[in-house]
Structure 1
Amino acid sequence: MGKQVLYIEMDNCIGCRSCLAACTQCGGHDNRNRNYVMDVDPFHTRQTIPLMCLHCVNPACARSCPAQAIQIADNGAVLSALVEKCIGCQNCTIACPYGIPKFDQEQNLMYKCDLCYDRTKDGIPPMCASVCPTNTLQWIDEAELARKQEQHLLSNGKWVASQPFNPLEGETNVRISLPGILQGREKLF
């Protein structure tokens, strides 16, 4: 089995928030959610989407940290700030284009999704993906990722929304499928 990645099929989310409950149970998370479920447009649809760290290959949070408190693990997981290094400047919370890092005032420390590093380093799915009942969050290998990307090829050959602009920070270790949005389809619920 090759490298595994967290794959998110946004269209599948039903807003059950199982991923949030599971996140609090991951080792070292101190019973704190590190991911979120957002209502897309509550006045017009019941559609929800999971929002979690995309574990950027060149993360803005780590680049902005003057204390080098944010480490990147060998599997690409961008970890929470190290207690012994974090100076509480909150640069990371401002720099992240997705608003993911949160700041604990009492501990004077940034925390965020760490891709359940204690599990994923051993090939075990992150807690959120292990409980998702609709396969919105999936822990898949590169072969399965390639199959999924092929399914959603667009007429211009692009899989992600990169024309006329790239809405993402750059390359990410978490992969996202937005085929309904990209192909102009609307969900019926």
Structure 2
Amino acid sequence: MTFIMPEVKEEQTKTRRKLYMELENCIGCRSCLSACTQCGGHEEKNRNYVYDVNPLVNRQTMPLMCLHCVDPACARSCPAQAIQIHETGAVLSALVEKCIGCQNCTIACPYGIPKFDEEENLMYKCDLCIDRTKDDIPPMCASVCPSNTLQWLTEEEIAEKKQKHELDNDKWVTSLPHLEGETHVTVNLPGILQGTTKLF
């Protein structure tokens, strides 16, 4: 006698990860910039930036990339609905077939992230390496960062870091609420907020 076992469907319990940034760890190597140009679909264009914080005072640098706002000003300001929001929360670059080159998005973004390519008449920005992150593969920038400034972490791992530094909720995470509110990228400055020098 042959028994046929019923098919058991695997539960899809995919752990949602976030790009986590500890800005004070940045050593200015710009590995993230080089990696960004190698991401699929970026056509070797850099979509992230590294800024000198106080160029005449010290060598402190910080990375800046799209924070993937929950309610993004760039998408709200687009009259052609060219900026789509992926189911993971990533805010994508303008669709070639829809972008009309009005540049509303570049003006609306409080972080100055979207850039406009005049030759292609198209806006482009960090899309969180959506081809990778949708499958839980770290974005290119986080995969090469040698100083742990950029990390690809679960909510549990972020909570562990928070507990380690013993900072209260108000001081731990900043989404720059005075500008755009909640974001899908977590930005933390535990060492600076504790008044300690911190690396890694």
TM-score, structure 1 as length reference: 0.91
2:97 to 80, 84, 93: 84
- Runs (4+) of structure 1 exceeding 4 A deviation are 184-188
Aligned residues: 186
Mapped partners of 1:47, 1:87: distance in 2: 38
- Shift of residue 185 of structure 1? 4.5
Other structure's SS at 1:100 match:
coil
Gap regions ≥5 residues in structure 2: 1-13
1:51 to 49, 64, 80: 64
- 1:178 alignment counterpart: 189
Point out the structure with max Rg over C-alpha.
Answer: 2
**Greater Cα shift, 125-134 or 166-175:** 166-175
- Shift of residue 161 of structure 1? 5.1
1:141 to 154, 168, 182: 154
Mapped partners of 1:81, 1:48: distance in 2: 29
Query: Percent of counterpart pairs with the same letter?
Result: 74
For each residue in 1:55-104, what CA deviation from the matched residue of structure 2 results, as whole angstroms up to 9, or x when unmatched? 00000000000110000001111000000110100000000000000000
Other structure's SS at 1:49 match:
strand
The answer to whether the 8 A contact 1:69-1:86 is kept is yes
The answer to whether the 8 A contact 1:161-1:182 is kept is no
TM-score, structure 2 as length reference: 0.86
For each residue in 1:23-56, what CA deviation from the matched residue of structure 2 results, as whole angstroms up to 9, or x when unmatched? 0000000100000000010111111000000000
- Shift of residue 183 of structure 1? 3.6
- 2:116 alignment counterpart: 103
- 1:166 alignment counterpart: 177
What amino acid maps onto 2:147 in structure 1?
T
